[in-house]
Structure 1
Amino acid sequence: MPILSSSWDRGEPVTDLLIRQVEKAVVGKREAIERCVAAILAGGHVLIEDVPGTGKTLLVKALARSLDCGFSRIQFTPDLLPADMTGTSIYHPVTHSFEFRKGPLFAHFVLADELNRTPARVQAALLEAMEEGQITADGETHPLPRPFILIATQNTVDGESTYTLPEAQLDRFLLRVRLGYPGIREEADILARQGEKSPLDQLRPVLMREELLALQANVRKIHVDETLRDYIALLAAATRRSPDIALGASPRASVALMRAAQAKAFMAGRGYAVPDDIKELAPAVLAHRLVLSPSARYEGRTAEQTIAEALERTPVPAADRRARA
């Protein structure tokens, strides 16, 4: 079962407290919030992708305010330089030495706002940070703080002054989240909350940094049966064999799906993962990593359709071995 936050004494799992806290500011996006929380528990990065004005940045800020971790925001623009994120060395004429001044990337929780508005050389500077939790500047390696979670946003309709994210970078996002437009009642609720103060002002941390690290360690201990590991490998192989896919899921994608399933099981209060954890999260974890073939794009096919077909064709493992785990 999930451990409880020392900041609360209600006996409620801390993950539920975190979700409910974020929902005070973000209306009607329970599934998106849960997936972001699952990614954070798994120690992975998140790509939030949707049209402008649907609450992408609000969701990230609400998560940041609900976590007692260092937070920074990087607004990506075409003229941004790698050093604007990572930091730079400053020369001190008195001591005749250089001192490295850390950039905004040195935070526990980083919002990369409109990531696709910056050119490839800046996006490439994030690869080492996202994969290895460190950056290299002037020949020296600097570790990033733990935990290190990067949540990036990008708009899907504004093509002016935007750049396509490279496959290597997309593969480093644990999962992709889409918000969509709210329903009529949800939108009316959003309007009702726009008083004198921002909905963000009422949020306070419900999870301390040390507790988050402990939760992430507990998630890694969630049992994933051998049959489930085989199931994940078969799903990944199915994407590589599909005629609709030019670039299938990588082994990194398989690891991400397993980690996400562990986090999902942890949030459900189980000590083991089940096939439904994998089936539910497979589209969010795999779709943004796949590259459609030209013929599939011409026919209007989507990566989500290919994943749905792979899930339908791949035999689901039996439950008896999991029950004994």
Structure 2
Amino acid sequence: MPYRSDVEAADALKEVYQQIRQEIGKVIVGQDEVIKFVLISIFSNGHCLLVGVPGLAKTLLVQTIAQVLDLDFKRIQFTPDLMPSDIIGSEILGEDRNFKFIRGPVFSNIILADEINRTPPKTQAALLEAMQEKSVTAAGVTHTLGKPFFVLATQNPIEQEGTYPLPEAQLDRFMFNVALNYPSFKEELQIVKNTTSTAQVSVHKQLNAEQIIYFQQLVRNIPVSDNVLEYAVKLVAKTRPNSEFASPQVKRLLNWGAGPRASQFLVLGAKCHAVLNGKYSPDIEDVQAVAKPILSHRIVRSYHAEAEGLSAHDIIEQLF
């Protein structure tokens, strides 16, 4: 990359981020927060879980992002009969009487795991190694996935019949758990207008794989002050009922808190959020800006919290 310094590269990332948002906006109406968190997860080398009712353009959003970023894209429809080999691939006997490995759809840059909770835990577990180690093991041989690699999964929060809750280990591998809301009246009006005509919209590529990898490294190079680092780690510690930092309210409302991955993602997410907003180092506001979608799926509410109708976001808000 022809950037003379990290400051110049950070300015370039902020500029290209705005261009990416404009291109995605040609296809996706609204959902600004969702787009922001998905892009932060990509530049932070994380994964994202999108939770929303059908028809909110979750799949279209992922497809559009893959086009704008010029990345290989594969969609996997998770169903109860899906097998691990349908994701990672399998060995077959070739014409030369030797076994050879046929790669599955996981060997791509962006994986859309559509309705990920509709497949049994055995198949869900096929993604665990890919999401953490960026590799898959088949027949004792480890195959490295290409870079960059992201899993963007979707989930329907309403219809739970015939679904399998995601294991905690897999949930923890998602950097963000982002909830999609219904569009506003004006946004829905624009959506209907755009999708019921013959108009064709094309998006232009803004980045490629090599540039994304460069910007991922840039985000890691962003300096962070000790007080922001301590704030992020302490915020996560406050979610743990047995922690010295936990308040009596937290001990009453939570059964389980977030693990160390939450602290790591808070710092990485804050760094990326700072750069995308024109800052060269994150502050406490950047940590708070990314905290809810990072912590919400890592805490387990108690009976008291559920009885009082307190959501995970409500409890996190109290921690601030």
When the two structures are superposed, what TM-score results if normalisation uses the length of structure 1? 0.90
Q: Distance in 2 between matches of 1:5 and 1:225?
A: 20
Counterpart in the other structure of 1:227: 227
Counterpart in the other structure of 1:111: 112
Corresponding residue pairs, total? 305
Q: Distance in 2 between matches of 1:308 and 1:230?
A: 18
Q: Distance in 2 between matches of 1:5 and 1:98?
A: 50
Deviation, 1:124, is 1.0
Deviation, 1:115, is 0.4
- Calculate percent identity across the aligned residue pairs: 40
The reply to whether residue 95 of structure 1 matches residue 104 of structure 2 is no
**Matched residue SS, 1:57:** helix
Task: Sort the Cα spacing of 1:128 and 1:307 in 2 relative to 1 into closer, same or farther, 3 A.
Answer: same
The reply to whether residue 277 of structure 1 matches residue 286 of structure 2 is yes
Tell whether the 8 Å contact from 2:255 to 2:302 is kept in structure 1 after alignment. yes
Counterpart in the other structure of 2:87: 85
Counterpart in the other structure of 1:295: 304
Q: Distance in 2 between matches of 1:218 and 1:197?
A: 42
> 1:185-242: per-residue Cα shift (whole Å, max 9, x none)?
111111111155576x512321111111111111111111111111011111110022
When the two structures are superposed, what TM-score results if normalisation uses the length of structure 2? 0.91
Q: Distance in 2 between matches of 1:52 and 1:96?
A: 46
TM alignment of 1:225-264, pairs within 5 A? 225-241=225-241, 242-243=250-251, 244-264=253-273
Q: Distance in 2 between matches of 1:105 and 1:184?
A: 38
The reply to whether residue 163 of structure 1 matches residue 172 of structure 2 is no
Task: Sort the Cα spacing of 1:2 and 1:175 in 2 relative to 1 into closer, same or farther, 3 A.
Answer: farther
Tell whether the 8 Å contact from 1:220 to 1:259 is kept in structure 2 after alignment. yes
Structure 2 counterpart of 1:24, one-letter code: K
Deviation, 1:176, is 1.4
Q: Which runs of 5+ in 2 are unaligned?
A: 1-6, 242-249
Counterpart in the other structure of 1:15: 17
Deviation, 1:56, is 1.2
Tell whether the 8 Å contact from 1:112 to 1:152 is kept in structure 2 after alignment. yes
The reply to whether residue 53 of structure 1 matches residue 55 of structure 2 is yes
Q: Distance in 1 between matches of 2:266 and 2:199?
A: 35
> 1:79-115: per-residue Cα shift (whole Å, max 9, x none)?
00000000000111x4221110100000011100000
Question: RMSD of the TM alignment (CA)?
Answer: 1.8
> 1:288-325: per-residue Cα shift (whole Å, max 9, x none)?
111112332233222111111111xxxxxxxxxxxxxx
Counterpart in the other structure of 1:66: 68
**Matched residue SS, 2:93:** strand
Q: Distance in 1 between matches of 2:72 and 2:21?
A: 19
Counterpart in the other structure of 1:206: 206
